[in-house]
């Protein structure tokens, strides 16, 4: 059963597990379960995705119960009217606060403006050797992308040399291998924690919050956060 975090006559939101596709995709033919079909079967109604989350990303995922509401919400996302907050665990000690303004290329090579703002919430240093270093350093950050580009957060954090733990292919292979072999963790540590927007029908302000998934919580405990 999917964890429903919000529901009214027009919208429904879930806390998506890491590793679950939003819907069928030819690039992930191995997948047998999809959030769209699971939620439809769970509530007994057709649902329409208002936006997307990467397969590897967990957290707040919004659907509409009708096409009109779906289109209205998609317009809000496209026009930057939805505030999105994410939590991520990064390699290294990240800056206290940073604006990453770095264009990202589409599949056809066209560059698109892309901006991410983040704040470092916690830092940790574990007594685990990493390369030439005798310890391993990590940061917990809250990130707000002000644009919505493909794999934006993953690519932006890799660009500033603080990749997200568990990210493939943008992350650090050594850290990903360490987490898998030492702690049995293969999840990408990126979580969509909050969505804020104006309800397209009632015009009321809506804030959706999704709690951390168990895999993310386990790493938080590991770090002493």
Cite the active site residues. 54
Place of tokens 């997200």: 164
Q: What angle do CA 4, 65, 43 make, to 5 degrees?
A: 45
What gap in Å lies between CA 8 and CA 6, rounded to an integer?
7
Q: What angle do CA 38, 86, 112 make, to 5 degrees?
A: 95
- Which residue, 190, 182, 199, is CA-closest to 162? 190
Say if CB 119 and CB 96 are below 8 A apart.
Answer: yes
Spatial CB neighbours of 4, under 8 Å, sequence gap ≥ 6: 12, 13, 14, 42, 43
Phi/psi at 33 (nearest 5 deg)? -125, 145
């Amino acid at each position: 059963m999917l964890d429903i975090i919000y529901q009214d006559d027009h919208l429904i939101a879930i806390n998506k597990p890491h590793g679950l596709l939003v819907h069928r995709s030819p690039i992930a033919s191995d997948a047998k379960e999809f959030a769209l079909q699971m939620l439809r079967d769970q509530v007994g109604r057709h649902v329409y995705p208002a936006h997307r989350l990467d397969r590897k990303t967990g957290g707040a995922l919004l659907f509409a119960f009708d096409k009109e509401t779906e289109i209205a919400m998609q317009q809000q996302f496209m026009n930057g009217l939805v505030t999105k907050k994410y939590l991520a665990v990064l390699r290294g000690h990240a800056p206290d606060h940073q604006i990453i303004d770095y264009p990202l290329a589409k599949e056809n090579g066209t560059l698109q403006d892309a901006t991410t703002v983040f704040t470092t919430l916690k830092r940790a240093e574990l007594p685990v050797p990493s390369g030439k270093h005798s310890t391993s350093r990590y940061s917990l950050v809250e990130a707000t992308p002000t644009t919505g580009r493909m794999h934006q957060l993953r690519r932006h954090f890799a660009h500033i040399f603080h990749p997200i733990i568990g990210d493939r292919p943008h992350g650090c292979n050594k850290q990903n291998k360490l987490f898998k072999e030492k702690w049995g963790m293969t999840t990408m540590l990126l979580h969509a924690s909050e969505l804020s927007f104006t309800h397209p029908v009632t015009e009321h302000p809506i804030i959706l919050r999704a709690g951390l998934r168990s895999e993310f919580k386990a790493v938080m405990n590991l770090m002493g956060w």
